[in-house]
Amino acid sequence: MDWSADQASLFIVPSSGFDDASPCERLLSTLADVDKGDVVLEWSEDDLISIPEQFSESPAPIYILLPSSSLSSFVNGDYVQGLRKMYPASPLLEDFVFINFDGSISETILRKNNLGGSEQTTLLLNCGFEASGGRHEYKLVENEVNLGVDAMGIKKVAGRSIACGKWAGSVKERIEESVKKNCGIEGEGENWGLVDLGFYRDVRRLLFEYGILTSAVRLIGEVHTKTSGDQLTFNDVVMSYEGESIDLIRELSSCLRGGLAVTMMYGFEDRILALAESSKMWKDQEAKTLWGGQKGLGGTWEQQNGWWLEEMTAKALAKAKETRIPIPDPLPMHSEYLEFIGLEVGGGRGEPVAEVGGGERSFMDALKGN
């Protein structure tokens, strides 16, 4: 497959900057280089951005470096909607580069706006920067964990960065060049590389693995934090409640095959547990859901546990009610644990709190108290 090489790019960044940045955000903040001809546009919900003419006339990567909490506002904003509603749709949309590193499930937001398909450039980022204090400004932090060897003696790993789509080659080159420049790392051997190049289905499957990781571990952690009074980390959850973790991981994954035609690859439970237990950027995170405005390291309620609740539970039960064919809750453990932490999912009969599509008030609006 022919992946495009690096070139002058456009970077859309939050107007508030990358204050209090996570390691991944810190790395992303170093990607733009004005000496290469890069252009940086600051975005806020009140701004109507405009892509410079040079990027409209000649295709180039357009990096969307916005936090998950801003993605919906950006995609549904006037500028992107204007590009989408052109006939035919503006080719600029194909140049958008979306980056995921916090386990958020953004597929629904993107698909509703004709984004995120097989040609769209998507990066699952598993590395970042921490302050060095040494000769170089930063030191590299990676999520990669060793899972031993397979039957052929080949090393198995989880937590690699991977990119797919039109500008995957450019993204790979840009990330690795920034690491060399800011950390002084040249790599070991000619095949050294931080970012793998893959196909859309590979990246999509991994994005859902990370979505399961964050949603399952956060929810179990909050349940047991409530009962014990001690704030648990991701490592605490999978080490102390491995059985529960596996049960919920499998329950969440079971909905993907029928609902979205996504089938997890063999060993996904082991990969998820290994990342939560040992990866540098996951293991020490506080295991708590983001419901009720709680803050976490990236992500939003609507793109983590709230996504499973609306897309898999609420819509399935609403469809059953509409067709008058009763079905059990497709995610009973997930719903039970949500109710334990204080969120009313149903009245004991597997019915949603509010009907999806009932007027202008969605199920998520009801859960958020709107």
Which pLDDT score, from 0 to 100, does residue 293 have?
Answer: 59
Which pLDDT score, from 0 to 100, does residue 206 have?
Answer: 97
Q: Reduce the DSSP state of residue 153 to 3 states and report it.
A: coil
pLDDT band at 69 (very low <50, low <70, confident <90, very high): confident
H or E, element range at 228:
helix 200-228
pLDDT at 337 over 60: yes
| 319 within 8 A of 357, measured Cβ to Cβ | no
pLDDT band at 345 (very low <50, low <70, confident <90, very high): confident
H or E, element range at 144:
none
Tokens standing for 44? 């806020």
Tokens standing for 316? 């399935």
Query: 225-261 b/e with 16+ CB inside 10 Å = b?
Result: beeeeeebbbbbbbeebeebbbebbebbbebbeeeee
- List the helix and strand counts (H, then E) for the chain: 14, 11
Which pLDDT score, from 0 to 100, does residue 317 have?
Answer: 86
pLDDT band at 294 (very low <50, low <70, confident <90, very high): low
Q: Which domains does the chain have, with CATH numbers?
A: 10-198 (no CATH), 203-368 (1.10.1040)
CB atoms within 10 A of CB 209: 22
In the Cβ-directed half-sphere of 40, how many Cα atoms lie within 13 Å?
16
Question: Long-range CB contacts (< 8 A, 24+ apart) of 69-78?
Answer: 69/299, 69/300, 70/14, 70/43, 70/45, 71/104, 71/106, 71/109, 71/303, 72/109, 72/302, 73/45, 74/12, 74/43, 75/109, 75/110, 75/113, 75/115, 76/113, 77/45, 77/48, 78/48
Which amino acid, residue 319? K
Tokens 């990027």 -> residue: 55
> Alpha helices, DSSP H only, in 123-199?
168-183
Q: Reduce the DSSP state of residue 41 to 3 states and report it.
A: strand
pLDDT band at 5 (very low <50, low <70, confident <90, very high): confident
Which comes out higher in pLDDT, residue 164 or 342? 164
Which pLDDT score, from 0 to 100, does residue 113 have?
Answer: 93
Which pLDDT score, from 0 to 100, does residue 123 have?
Answer: 97
Tokens 């029928």 -> residue: 258
Going by C-alpha positions, the residue among 367, 339, 342, 370 that lies closest to residue 354 is: 367
The verdict on pTM exceeding 0.75 is yes
pLDDT band at 295 (very low <50, low <70, confident <90, very high): low
Which pLDDT score, from 0 to 100, does residue 154 have?
Answer: 84
CA angle 264, 269, 271 (to 5 degrees): 95
Tokens 């405009």 -> residue: 50
pLDDT in tens, 114-161: 999 889 999 999 999 998 766 778 999 999 999 988 888 888 999 999
Tokens standing for 141? 């932090």
Quote the mean pLDDT of the chain. Answer: 86
Give the span between the Cα atoms of 351 and 192, in whole angstroms.
52
Tokens standing for 90? 């503006």
| 97 within 8 A of 63, measured Cβ to Cβ | yes
